[in-house]
Amino acid sequence: MSTALVILAAGQGTRMNSDLPKVLHEVAGAPLIVHAMKAGAALEPDRTVIVAGHGAEDVKKAALAHDDSVEIAIQSEQKGTAHAVAQAAPLLAGHTGDTIVLYGDTPFISTETLERMAKARARHDVVVLGFNAADPARYGRLVMNGESLERIVEFKDADEAIRAITLCNSGVIAAQTATLFKLIDAVGNDNASGEYYLTDIVGLAQAQGLSATAILCDEAETLGINSRSELALAEAAFQARARAAALEDGVTLIAPDTVHFAHDTVIGRDTLIEQNVVFRPGVTIESGARIRAFSHLEGCHVSRGAVVGPYARLRPGAELAEDTRIGNFVEIKNAIIDEGAKVNHLSYIGDAHLGAASNVGAGTITCNYDGVMKHHTEIGRNVFIGSNTMLVAPVTIGDDAMTGSGSVITRDVPEGALALARSAQVDKPGMARKMFEILKAKKAKRDKGAE
Ligand code: UD1
Ligand code: MG
């Protein structure tokens, strides 16, 4: 059966105290809206509609960047959750399967939970995801009668008896698409907020002889983000899960609490991660690599047996082949480092290809940017780049070549050649001693003047 996903993301998120729409704030390097999309993707939806309002253009851009097949509905005025879902109705007209509604600010709903909801949908017309709240606060309350969900009462409209219920509404609702929109059509706004509540569809369904039920999940899954402190809590919760998952997957973390993962980090087993390592989005690491302390990785691939760091920075497009070595204070950007090649100290390698078994000496820089354009540096196999070489791109260094330390290489170096591009050394016999005497005399004169 086909499933449509509707993700509500029109709210401003006033409590974030931010110019950025709430759903664009990030957890583990991805906007909240992307987490919601990833959660919903578990259902393999054939349609995904995001309801945007505040900052709609930016929300649309972020959503499409993650998945260009999603559709955007605009809710220009926020009149409540039912009104928000109604904005997706024209796009989903004629959809024959189910629709499931998620919130863009609730990033952690699990695949397993959504699958349980889909199963329950086979038995009931409306399925709501609920949870037992440690502190039910201002959540909507689920009024159950056995397995049947009778109605949902919003906190503002609840009396003391209803407020005493701890079973709360997460906001996730599933129903057959046509049924959902028919019920939403009947929702009014005669309530304490003057809003069109999506939650009212449960009572309306019961009144029409349809059935409704609630599926329960862990409260941690329904964590919604409304403030910066909840954003920090969500980040901490994500990191705790990611660390536990890495350990479970056979990755050694010497100090798990100091390693920060991105939403999409992939690490093979028997990889060792030292202290204080940060993974930004787009990192894959093969089995048996070692990432040493204080390294920062983003958009890169590290192969088996490679050693990175300590204090290394791998930027987008860094591709390290097997058994490569990237050492301290080395930055690699958009560069392929072939098997067994080494860049061990204080270097910048950007927009480059370094051939197998080549060695780059300390302080080497690929001068890839001329102030307007970026240029490529090509270094062959078994090359030795002397310390402090400036490789002014575009430039090619042939296989088995060498550059002398301190060279500024502006022309291609033929294979097997030694390139020296630095001023020649001149020795002046006895001159140093003379210089010392002159300088010491000058100092003595100055010190005397100061007395
Ligand atoms: C909603 C539920 C409540 C539930 C709680 C869980 C309703 C009426 N209430 O309350 O039962 O316990 O979530 O967190 O549904 N949104 C729009 N357009 C609107 C209004 C909201 O897109 O006009 C979006 C918001 O951006 C947000 C989500 O819908 O992502 C929920 O809206 P919010 O105002 O936070 O609802 P709550 O009052 O928390
Ligand atoms: Mg809310």
Cβ 285 under 6 angstroms from ligand 1: no
Residue 66 bears catalytic tag: no
Distance of alpha carbon 327 from alpha carbon 295, whole angstroms:
10
Is residue 70 pLDDT above 90, yes or no? yes
Could you read off the pLDDT of 309-323 as tens digits, one per residue?
Answer: 999 999 999 999 999
Three-class secondary structure of residue 98 per DSSP = strand
The encoded tokens of residue 60 equal: 């649309």
**What confidence score (pLDDT) does residue 371 get?**
97
Percent of the chain with pLDDT over 90: 98
Say yes or no to pLDDT of 451 above 90: no
Beta carbons of 221 and 113 less than 8 angstroms apart = yes
Place of tokens 């290809």: 353
Distance 146 CA to ligand 2 centre (A): 27
Query: pLDDT tens digits, residue range 255-303?
Result: 999 999 999 999 999 999 999 999 999 999 999 999 999 999 999 999 9
Q: How far is the CA of 80 from the centre of ligand 1 (A)?
A: 7
pTM comes to 0.92
Q: Which residue, by CA, sits nearest to atom 26 of ligand 1?
A: 11
Q: What is the mean pLDDT of the chain?
A: 97
198: Cβ below 6 Å to ligand 1?
yes
Nearest CA to ligand 1 atom 17: 10
Given a cut of 90, is residue 6 above it in pLDDT?
yes
Residue to mutate, 22, 51, 81, ligand 1, most ligand atoms under 8 Å from C-beta: 81
Ligand nearest to the CA of 199: 1
CA 170 / ligand 2 centre spacing (Å): 9
pLDDT digits (tens, 9 = 90+) for 399-446: 999 999 999 999 999 999 999 999 999 999 999 999 999 999 999 999
Which pLDDT score is estimated for 171? 96
CB-CB neighbours of 59 under 10 Å: 26
What pLDDT, on a 0 to 100 scale, did the predictor assign at position 12? Answer: 83
Measured in Å, residue 81 CA sits from the centre of ligand 1 at: 6
pLDDT category of residue 1 using cuts at 50, 70 and 90: confident
| Amino acid code (one letter) for 120 | A
CA of 197 to the centre of ligand 1 (A): 8
Q: Is 168 in the pocket of ligand 1 (CB under 6 A)?
A: yes
What is the average pLDDT across 199-225?
97
Is the model's pLDDT at 212 over the cut of 90? yes
105 touches ligand 1 (CB under 6 Å): yes
Q: Does the CB atom of residue 171 touch ligand 1 within 6 A?
A: yes
The model's pLDDT over 105-120, given as tens digits with 9 standing for 90+, comes to 999 999 999 999 999 9
Confidence of residue 101 (pLDDT cuts 50, 70, 90): very high
The stretch 223-236 carries a mean pLDDT of 95
CA–CA dist 87, 188 (Å, integer): 15
Cβ atoms 385, 370 nearer than 8 A: no
Which residues are CB-contacts of 431 (< 8 A; sequence separation ≥ 6)?
A: none
> Ligand nearest 129 Cα, by number?
1
- Which atom belonging to ligand 1 lies closest to the Cα atom of 53? 22
Q: Say if ligand 1 is within 6 A of residue 375 CB.
A: no
